[in-house]
Amino acid sequence: MKFFVDTADVPAIAELNELGMVDGVTTNPSLIKKSGRDILEVTKEICDLVEGPVSAEVVATEADQMIAEGRKLLEIADNIAVKVPLTWDGLKACKVLSDDGAMVNVTLCFSANQALLAAKAGATFISPFIGRLDDINLDGMQLIEDIRTVYDNYNYETEILAASIRTANHVAESARIGADVITAPPAVIKALANHPLTDKGLAAFLADIKDAGIKIL
């Protein structure tokens, strides 16, 4: 499973990248706002740092403008994936940009039917939002499962990029279902290393190391 980091925080991406945890990056307008950086500048910095796809989202809502913005974003680097919202205009932009050979990430997906449309429009990635469905008492993981089934039924190559991931459980379940990629904030990725039994076991080992005076160097 590929791990994308969902942030425009360059030092946080660099830290995870050094450990080989970063297969790509996703950003969105809210994350760009949070970074306080210029979208073109920060996106270029991220693209220079990371080899895999870096999703940068258009800000227009009308297809022609989305396409123009997408082409400008694509000039930043070869690893840009243009992110467009799952609207009819977004699907039109997806079709044109993907026909040009660009990677396109269709975002704000909340149903299997929407995911079907994105695949037919040539999307490289579909981004179903798990956490935001859970927020309104719907089942975000069920959506990942449904899209996996639909894409496998018809051999669509669009990759399922499980987004709006808030917990370690979202990551584990996405992997179990077979999502191709998860994108999660740096803190969620780092928290995957945590387990209370690891802490407890290490504390016991450290106590024995101290008692026995075990030394290696």
Site residues (CB under 6 A) for ligand G3P?
6, 26, 28, 129, 131-132, 163-164, 166, 183
Name which of 66 and 163 has its Cβ closer to ligand G3P. Answer: 163
Alpha carbon distance 90, 96 (integer Å): 10
Residues 151 and 136: their CA atoms lie apart, in Å, by 25
Instruction: Round to the nearest angstrom and report the end-to-end CA distance of the chain.
Output: 37
Backbone angles phi, psi at 7, to 5 degrees: -170, 160
Cβ distance to ligand G3P smaller for residue 21 or 101: 21
CB of 5 to ligand G3P, least distance (A): 10
Catalytic-labelled residue, pool 83, 92, 95, 215: 83
How many residues in total does the chain contain? 217
Residue 197 CB, shortest distance to ligand G3P, in Å, is 28
Catalytic (active site) residue 33: no
| Shortest Å, Cβ 30 to ligand G3P | 6
Burial of 204 (0-12, 13-18, 19+ CB in 10 A): exposed
How far apart (Å, rounded) are the C-alpha atoms in residues 155 and 149?
Answer: 10
Residue nearest to ligand G3P (CB): 164
Q: Which residue in 44, 39, 84 sits closest to 65, CA to CA?
A: 84
Taking the complex as a whole, the smallest distance from the CB of residue 148 to ligand G3P amounts, in Å, to 19
DSSP one-letter code for 129: B
Task: Using the minimum distance from each CB to ligand G3P, give the nearer residue, 21 or 100.
Answer: 21
- In the bound state with ligand G3P, the residue whose beta carbon lies nearer, of 7 and 98, is 7
Which residues carry out catalysis? Answer: 83
